[in-house]
Amino acid sequence: MAHQSGDASGGICTHMSRLFLGLQGALLSVALTAGVSAAAPPLLPSVATVHIKDFKYHPPALTVHVGARVTFINDDDEAHTVTATDKSFDSEGLDTGGTWQHVFTKPGTYNYFCELHPYMKATIVVLPAAPAQ
């Protein structure tokens, strides 16, 4: 007596879920197509830190996405700067314990150095957009 309507509703269920999956697939392809042509999606908050220690930037090469805020911290006893080779940014002098932040708003490869010790060099690569989650 318990299995009376099992087959019938099972049939409808299968049919409905096929329809539903079909719709989902169609919506997904629309979304994917729209994603390619639409403006960049909202970016996730992103932060990174570069330490300056022993006359070196750590890490010497850093990759972030557009919109990332990078904090530079001088852990040395000497003053240092964070200065873009193309002068697009410049922390000016950072004393011991000094910090400076920069938000990277344009993709590209940014080489920077210390104006007080020009042999100190490092790079930040800014990628176009954070991947969708």
Residue 114 within binding range of Cu ion, rule CB under 5 A? yes
Closest distance of CB 48 from Cu ion, Å: 20
Per DSSP (E only), the strands in the chain are 47-53, 56-58, 61-65, 69-74, 83-84, 99-103, 108-113, 121-127
Residue type, 61: A
Could you tell me how far CA 95 lies from the centroid of its own chain?
Answer: 29
Which range binds Cu ion by CB under 5 A, 24-32, 33-41, 89-97, 109-117?
109-117
> Does 100 help bind Cu ion (rule: CB under 5 A)?
no
CB 112 within 8 A of CB 75: no
| Smaller CB separation from Cu ion, 70 or 114 | 114
Among 50, 68, 80, 82, binds Cu ion (CB under 5 A): 80
Interface positions with Cu ion (CB under 5 A): 80, 114, 116-117
